[in-house]
Chains A and B, each alone.
Chain A
Amino acid sequence: MIKKGAKSRQPRNLLFLFEALSLSLLFLYQWDSLEKSTYITAIGLVLIIYLSNFLLLKISDGDQYIFLIVTMLLSIGLIMIYRIDEGLGVKQLLWISIGILTFYLTYFVLRYIKGWRNWGILYLGLSYLLFLFTFVLGSRIKGAKNWIKIGGISFQPAEITKLLLIFIIASFYSNKEKYKDIKYSNYYLVGIVYSFIALLFLQKDLGMAVLFYVIFLALQYIYEEDRKLIFLNIGLFLAGGLLGYVVFDHVKVRFVTWLNPWPYIDNKGYQIIQSLFAIAEGGFFGTGLGLGHPYFIPHADTDFIFSAICEEMGLFTGIGIIMLFLILVYRGFKIALRQKNKFYKILALGISVLFGIQSIVIIGGVLKVIPLTGITLPFVSYGGSSMLSNFIALGVLQVASEDLGLEDEHYEIGE
């Protein structure tokens, strides 16, 4: 315990140093118009992050790094968001605080309530319910009908559904014996996942659809014994993508502007080209905080935050963010490899894949490596629902990093 504490103290201090430096830059940038909110945000950020890292060490004997990595990502994101819009920055700090509380809540709930792997049907029902809500109460934001508004707070149900999907798949593959007698049970799973993807397609939420698919494909690749099902899955997706391209205009637009956005510079290619301008302008070291032009980038606080960061903090910070995600995914996979409890093992894998593919899809998108689909950069972008769902996921990963033995199985036998 002591040794572990010493090991993570050093990166924690480095994180503190990074925050102190970038916050003083922020102070310099706003020197003439320093407001109380800036101080509150600064002190709040340092306090929350330092305390929560410290606390985690006392509570969990699992992985000590994933939370540190995430807090680094949070810091970079918050500073950028605050620089773009002070009000939004204060709000983001609030979301971070709620997110961290949710993280601890998730941790304790998961740790002390047993039987999660047996409630597959419940997760499934909940998922469809959330989809139903979206269609009935949904409102359009940025062309996609994937938000619901309850009491003034906008919420994106798919952020929760993506976690439910991981739980559904985990509970299915960890309960193999139970489903053995049901013929074609694994085909049912394919059907369920595809129904999700189809629903997301109808909401025009392409980014999320890709996320769902990759999570499913990765877990299926690892756990499906019927190997030809994987090829079927890939084939189905290609066919579906082709159909989507022909039928849905919004799919075609994404594809065309990916291949060559320049002819559409002032209409459908506008967003991606503004992103490329920003990244190109930043160079290796960036223009410096406050010296770039993030207001030229559409949605610089959410989907395109990576471009805004590259412009002001430079290519090296961009590479740093990618590397942070790489370590996060690596730690996640390592946790999965060590975990003996199959349900948690699959959960850990699913969550690692989620973090990995979500960051690749959006970073690749704004770099024009792959077609652009609007999703958030986990822990960096502004946004309440994605912050909450990502922290729930991190909480699950934290639990999965602990030695759970085979107690879940014992519990079931005891039933």
Chain B
Amino acid sequence: MKLENKRIISVLIVFCLSFIGLVGYMSYFQVFRAEKIKQNSYNKRLWINEENIVRGSILDRNGTVLAYSEKQGDEIKRYYKYGRLYSHIIGYSYREYGKAGLELTYNSQLLNINENSAINEIINIVAPSTVGNNLELTIDHGLQEKTRNLLKGKKGTVISMNPKTGEIYSMVSLPDFDSSRLKEDWNEIAEDPNSPFLNRAIQGLYPPGSTFKLITTIGALNTSNLDLEYDCVGSVNVHGYTFTDYQGKGHGHLNLKSALVNSCNTYFTSKSTEIGRDTLGRVAEGFMFNNKIPFDLPVKTSSFPVNENIDKTGLAAASIGQGKVLATPLNMLLVASGIANDGEVVQPYLVKNIVSKDGKMLKTTRTETLSRGTSSIMADKVKDMMIDVIKYGTGKNGSIKNVQVAGKTGTAENASGNSHAWFVGFAPADDPKIAVTVLLEEEGSSGGRSAAPIARDLIIYALNNIKF
């Protein structure tokens, strides 16, 4: 009899534990999993609001309407006036295909649905909104159009921003797609081997090539007792691997400045051992390598091998932006901006203001410092060198009459065999108003020849037309 009751109790315990287990799992689910599951685009509840609320408009910095919604009978339709031009910035919002771009990031603001607080929930129930909020972007529509025209016919990306405030003035990535024709073009876009959905400015990781020498230069300036003189004969052997200069030509006697101006590979590779992985890594991380860049759109993280065991050859390759160094074009823009802004890297942003339907300012983005890339003294020194790059060096094609441009070119080797052409820079050098990055993917020509002219034309247009 006793045994029987003992067994009964053990069965009871199993049941009690199962019930408590269910309660535990439910709580875990609600706290840790629910938020992500709710956001799945198959959750029809996400679209219920959509059917009743007129989604807010998206405007450029001067008030030009870029995207808006209109009620047509029972249906609310979204219009993308410049479907292609803003496909990688505004993105899209379709029931069938989900959301992307700013439409995704700022969904609840565009719909004016307040989330996650008891009071807001009551407000939503008592007085549900019918019109969403508008977004005012930092983009200049004219410059955006100019930027796309400059890049037309090529594969790559161009971004420009204010190096002091972080406002993005234009951002184009090609190939792109037409946000307003997603239904018609979906299959074609999805199957295109050039991946038009990829925003190369923030989602593409490329070897930065010689543009990375800006960081190596700062690394060299930070290395005490480093002999900055060098005799270049066109090639050098670092630990068993031979690095050569562009077209194998020797540059003769060099110091740090003339090495950067002529973009001398042998100079930086042979100095890399003395600069060392730690110093170079510290500078790179100061310019946001290995760090997540907070932005209105998802950004891939650039990488510099600080924790990996790389040998001297690997470090030499890294010092000229090859090998294990990978960067997003946005990150290289931050490198140039940081140097332009006395060594301080500011956070880039696309959305300037969120404004309610009756014109009330709900949120304004303020400039925030992300990190200190280098000291203002060092920044000034590198800036001087970058001016000479444009004046006398590889970046001559970037020069503008009456305006002093500072920049650095890059020609990055990659697996495709056709090198990427890079240009990063800013102007005017004494009081920088705009910083630019140009990346031409698999262009097969040098950054100085093909990327620098695009930057030049962009800067000319921007300085003449943008209200800073």
Contact = CB atoms under 8 A, between A and B. Distances in A.
A and B: real partners? yes
A353 B11 contact: yes
A222 B19 CA distance: 20
Interface residues of B, number: 33
Interface of chain A, helix or strand or loop or mixed? helix
A333 B16 CA distance: 11
Interface string A268-299: 00000100110111011100100101001000
Contacts of A280: 29-30, 33-35, 37-38
A284 B30 contact: yes
A72 B12 CA distance: 22
A321 to B, nearest CB: 10
B11 A367 contact: no
A276 B35 CA distance: 11
Interface stretch (A179-187, A324-332, A407-415): A324-332
Nearest to A320: B23
A221 interface: yes
Main secondary structure of the interface of B (DSSP, over half): helix
Interface string B37-54: 110101111001000000
Given A288-B125, A293-B48, A326-B19, A283 B30 contact: yes
A364 B37 CA distance: 18
B61 to A, nearest CB: 37
Given A277-B37, A280-B29, A280-B37, A296 B15 contact: no
Contacts of B118: 285
Contacts of B44: 277, 293, 296
A330 B38 contact: no
Contact of A322 (B7, B19, B30, B40): B19
B25 to A, nearest CB: 6
B191 interface: no
Interface in A341-377: 349, 353, 356, 360, 363-364, 367, 369
Given A222-B8, A223-B4, A329 B29 contact: no
B194 interface: no
Nearest to A295: B44
A333 B38 contact: no
Nearest to A342: B4
A273 B42 contact: yes
B37 A336 contact: no
B26 A367 contact: yes
Interface string B400-433: 0000000000000000000000000000000000
Given A322-B19, A337-B5, A277 B43 contact: yes
Contacts of A330: 12, 16
A322 B27 CA distance: 12
B460 interface: no
Interface in A297-333: 315, 318-319, 322-323, 325-326, 329-330, 333
A218 interface: yes
Interface of B: 4-5, 7-9, 11-12, 15-16, 18-23, 25-27, 29-30, 33-35, 37-38, 40, 42-45, 48, 118, 125
29 contacts: A218-B11, A221-B7, A222-B7, A265-B40, A265-B42, A266-B42, A273-B40, A276-B37, A280-B34, A281-B34, A281-B45, A283-B30, A283-B34, A293-B48, A315-B26, A322-B22, A322-B23, A326-B19, A330-B16, A333-B9, A333-B11, A336-B8, A337-B9, A356-B18, A360-B19, A360-B22, A367-B22, A367-B25, A369-B25
Interface of A: 218, 221-223, 265-266, 273, 276-277, 279-281, 283-285, 288, 291, 293, 296, 315, 318-319, 322-323, 325-326, 329-330, 333, 336-337, 349, 353, 356, 360, 363-364, 367, 369
Given A280-B35, A349-B8, 20 more contacts: A222-B7, A266-B42, A277-B43, A279-B29, A280-B33, A319-B27, A322-B19, A325-B19, A326-B16, A326-B19, A329-B12, A329-B15, A330-B16, A337-B8, A337-B9, A349-B11, A360-B18, A363-B22, A367-B22, A369-B21
